[in-house]
Amino acid sequence: MDLSYSAEYEAFRAEVAKFLAASWPLSGKEAELPGDQKASVFRGRAIEVGYLARSVPKRYGGSEQPADVLKAQIIREEFFRARAPGELGGIGPSMLVPTLLEKGAEWQKDKFIGPTIRGEIVWCQGYSEPGSGSDLASLQTRAELVGGEWVINGQKIWTSGAHVADYMFCLCRTEREAPKHAGISYLLLSMKQPGIEVRPLRQMTGAADFNEVFFSDARTPADWIVGKRGEGWIVSRTTLKHERNMIGDAANTVMMFEGLVALAKRSLRDGRPALDDPGIRQRLVALEGYVRSHQYSGYRQLTKAAKAQEPGRIGLMNKLVSTNLGQEMAKLALDLVGDDGLLEPRERRLGAPRENGQWIGQFMWSLGSAVAGGTANIQRNVIGERGLGLPRDAAAQRS
Amino acid sequence: MNFDLTDEQDLLQETVRQYASNVCTPTRRRAIFDGDDGHDTELWRGLLELGLGAIAVPDEFGGAGLELLDLALAAEVLGAEAVPGPFLGHSFAGLAILHAGSDAQKKTWLPKLASGEVLGTVAFAEGDGRWQPEDWTLARGATLTGVKAHVPFGAHAGLFVVGTRGGGFALCERGASGLVVEPLPGIDRTRRIASLALENTACDVMPGGPESASRVRDAALVLLAADAFGGAAKLLELSVEYAKTRQQFGVTIGSFQGLKHQLATMAVEVEPARGLYWYAAYAFDHVPSEAQRSAALAKAHLTQVYMQIARDAVEAHGGIGFTWECDVQIYFKRAMFDRAFLGAPAAHRERAAALAGW
């Protein structure tokens, strides 16, 4: 056990820090650019020197670096420290790109990967349907090949970002006679067409980040399919694996915990900092036990990944651990913000630190993340069945 | 960057596990648990022959010169197998002499503790939750007079490391005048405890002060945390096995979602928490600034998790889990020991808060 980095890695860290010192924030005329353009200019440079889009080949616009989880970790740490824009987030770069790299046709990689990792095109994911949530493979949205085009009819729901997306990657039933899982194909389609209607769904937080999407003879070319007909379920599993990885990152949890401690310092109880309250101290340290567990568990998974070893069943638990923590921290935060909890999360109030409103948002958001990407109960099924080797229940086995 | 065990450390754990499962069979463990004396000297001798008394003792004093992590890894396995015996108290005594003793005291005692020629233990508690060096009131002088509670294997030990006022230590030997040991009806019958009364008892004062006492406490907390992790992980395994074996309504009960989710919840409590004691042990030897706090956090968290997992495991085993004959109760009571010994979780959480400057 040795938590320090070797000289080679420390040298790499220094190199990254030097690049950041020279490149971020942007200077001169570039400092006048709008925020997202600044980030885009910077990301282009970071890809050039090999710090971002490392797993994406150069011919598709990535920096094609040998896989090295420790270097990737150092880059994340240094970018975070410098508050520099890191790997582009969102469903396209984090889920579609790895899926295309693994299963996509050559022309699909050429056409889509570069613009996606540069943020020039935005994707949404068409998976869930009103009748198909946890039992996703029961989905009914149909696609039929008519004259060299897929014609799509049906409905998707919980589609994050559909109102701003340029394209969708989507699961559709294409093989009507095939068994449930084998009848699904993975299609790409343009969102900018008359056969698609997007209706926003307003969340309990008041924001509208996701949507219902209705398809009425929406169209996409015959070769905008990833994998073969009927292989969509398998192709989508590649993607879900990436989504779970994306959600279970301990860095966010640690950062949120630090924010919670800061909140306890500035919140008052009977005129004194809440952090002096013995009950609050107990709850904070009890939470920290879980936060550090998650953090060290991350160190161990990182070590295993660096040695090309499988993480084992702990890898199945990351999502549940981090969403549990997100909820527990938000509950403590609600107690700390006190009467601010009577107000709408987005309200900016005179005298109230803006972060208090964000914690009230988090109190609700943390429920959203416990449901998104597989509900907590589904996670417990996965841990029980794949992690602990317990038998599937009879009802799920039949379908 | 390497947060994992070495091959040697894996081997150490495997060796102890092999010995425990071959020698400390459930039948033998049960006999010790139900017996009057509670100390199986032959079993203890075998552990000493594996080197378990010598792991963290420096080479010059007849030890293996390894780190706290290695000792904690052994503690984890003993916890997992619920091995009865004086490993913890004996280890605490060695750590105290190593960190607070004079050269002469180290030369005299460490080789004997490493080999097991002498059985050591510690007398810290003064009742009402007063476990910490800051709480000790027993006056230190040429002789000692006072009472200590909850001394592990006090009825068997040859050497007592006694905590004294202001975070000091003194050594007393069995048979010294005025030293009276009274076995207590301890809940954990795999780790027997006794009270220790001293009246003008001759002692050998150790030079170390509060800073040494603090180090000893940190190390002891890590070992308790490791024991707790081992026990909790084993209870998860036993509960999962039971759920895969037991049949009702014509199917194995582990296929029912209610039980499956309980077991998954247990797994999520236990598995990620391993790193807490690893990190605390690592910090003890390599990150001095974080040693105290991470030890407090590990002890508070892991012993609380162990206690809850023990309750869950009883439930997962159904009616049989509630019986005396089911081994789950042995773990349950070890969890009670780990939780209370050296201070309850709440006490260490408050310490952790204060140590963070909160």
Are A281 and B353 inside 8 Å of each other by CB? yes
Set of chain A residues whose Cβ sits within 8 Å of the Cβ of B6:
1
Mean pLDDT of A261-275: 94
The catalytically annotated residue of A78, A87, A129, A243 is: A243
- Mean pLDDT score, A47-52: 95
Are A392 and B267 inside 8 Å of each other by CB?
Answer: no
Q: Nearest 10 degrees: CA dihedral of B106, B108, B113, B119? A: -120
How would residue A373 be classed by pLDDT, with cut points 50, 70 and 90? confident
Q: Let me know the angle formed at the C-alpha of A105 by A232 and A176, rounded to the nearest 5 degrees.
A: 25
Smallest Cβ distance to A314: which of B5, B260, B271?
B271
Percent of chain B with pLDDT over 90: 100
Is the pLDDT score of A190 beyond 80?
yes
Q: Confidence band (pLDDT; 50, 70, 90) for A248?
A: very low
> Mutate which of A4, A76, A254, A293 to disrupt the B interface (most B C-beta within 10 Å)?
A293
The confidence score (pLDDT) of residue A207 equals: 85
Residue A353: predicted pLDDT: 66
- pLDDT band for A307, please (50, 70, 90 cuts): confident
Region B138-157: mean pLDDT is 97
- In which band, very low, low, confident or very high, does the pLDDT at A257 lie, cut at 50, 70 and 90? very high
- Res A94: pLDDT: 87
Q: Between B228 and A308, whose confidence is greater?
A: B228
The confidence score (pLDDT) of residue A237 equals 86
Examine the residue annotation and report whether A243 is marked as an active-site residue of this protein.
Answer: yes
Residue with tokens 């005291």: B105
Residue A152: closest CA among A225, A238, A218: A218
Read off the pLDDT band of A146 (50, 70, 90).
very high
pLDDT, one tens digit per residue, over B24-39 is 999 999 999 999 999 9
How far apart are alpha carbons B201 and B175 in whole angstroms?
10
Cα gap B14→B79, rounded to integer Å: 14
Split at pLDDT 50, 70, 90, the class of A393 is: confident
Contacts of A76 in chain B (CB under 8 A): none
Q: What is the pLDDT confidence band of residue A244, given thresholds at 50, 70 and 90?
A: very low
Rounded to a whole number, what is the distance in Å from the CA of A9 to chain B's nearest CA?
Answer: 9
Query: Are B349 and A286 in contact, with CB atoms under 8 Å apart?
Result: yes
* CA distance linking residue B298 with residue A276, whole number of Å: 22
Q: What is the pLDDT of residue A114?
A: 92
Q: Is residue A153 within 8 Å of residue A117, measured between CB atoms?
A: no
Question: How close does chain B come to A242, measured CA to CA in Å?
Answer: 20
Q: Do the chains contact at A292 and B268, CB–CB below 8 Å?
A: no
What's the pLDDT score for residue A240? 61
pLDDT attached to residue A247 = 35
How far lies A155's CA from each of A158, A176, A270, in Å? 10, 17, 53
The conformational region for residue B304 under phi > 0 = left, psi -120 to 50 = alpha, else beta, is alpha
Q: What is the pLDDT of residue A246?
A: 42
Decide: helix, strand or coil at residue B339: helix
Averaged pLDDT of chain B: 97
Average of per-residue pLDDT across B193-211: 98
Query: What rounded mean pLDDT belongs to chain A?
Result: 90
Residue B3 with chain A: CB contacts under 8 Å: 1, 3, 296, 299-300, 302-303
CA-nearest of A153, A125, A377, A8 to B260 is: A377
Return d(Cα B230, Cα B235) in angstroms, integer.
9
- Residues with Cβ within 8 Å of residue A215, at least 6 apart in sequence: A141, A152, A153, A154, A155, A156, A195, A196
B318, two tokens: 């159904």
- Look at A82-96, B35-49, B58-72, B195-209 and tell me which has the smallest mean pLDDT: A82-96
Q: How far is B29 from chain A (nearest CA, A)?
A: 27
Pairing of strands B204-205, B168-173: antiparallel
pLDDT at B108: 98
User: In this predicted structure, what is the pLDDT of residue B210?
Assistant: 97
Q: What is the pLDDT of residues B268-298, one digit of tens each?
A: 999 999 999 999 999 999 999 999 999 999 9
Rounded to two decimals, the pTM is: 0.93
